[in-house]
Chain A
Amino acid sequence: MSTILRLSLPLTLWLASFSAVYGLHGLLCSSRWTGPDGRWPLIAAALLALALQGALLALIATRRWPEPEPTLHRTSLILAVAAFVGTGWTLMPVAFVSHCL
């Protein structure tokens, strides 16, 4: 199962963080939200997601979480890079787009 986890974890983390940031955005823009306004919680959440992806990528790239099979090691590395880049790309709107319009 360790191999399957190594392959599936980075993008699953992307999906979880992407959904969480979207949910947070929904909450912050809800008429029922009474807390502080602004995009900073979204930026913080996006940066946290990016940091987690970076840590996971480092874990897989540096063989601290070893995969003895070279093909699958390379595949899990590709997936970790894809998840890192994907997190940056899909959460980029938190910095540039009007958040509750």
Chain B
Amino acid sequence: MKFSWRVIQVSLIGGLIGILIGFLLALISSVLNQSPVFLPSTPTFVAQYQNNLTATLVSVGLWALMGIVFSATSSIIFAIDRWSITHQTVIHFLITYVLFTPLAVTAGWFPVKYYLISYSIEFLIIYFITWLVSMQIAKATVRKLNRLVSKEKQ
């Protein structure tokens, strides 16, 4: 019970952060493209809907779901601490890749045809860096613990 409440809380915050990031990205993109109005995504995406407001509402829903995907999976996967760092990272990568990719494609963030490979490579690189940093932190922790053990034995 306590566990699921925590996941719900984290997901809510994650959803809000997703909306914030999605909104900021869309705002920056609208400014850079010198659009006269705020566009939640590409003009092709917006054209799929009746008006800009509907397109924005759909986008907000997708941004929230993206945030939930990352926050909920993180709070579940990284809480299973009997798993090794590699195990956690690989499972987290697979779940977020499978769930986030369709959301990003639906939100019109990139056309599947041209960018799927480079997107996948970027995704992999980000996870590899995360894994590498986590391993380095763990190595430093182990070094510190071993120093304490040898001090104790002196």
A and B are interacting partners:
no
Query: Taking beta carbons and an 8 Å cutoff, which residues of B are in contact with A?
Result: none
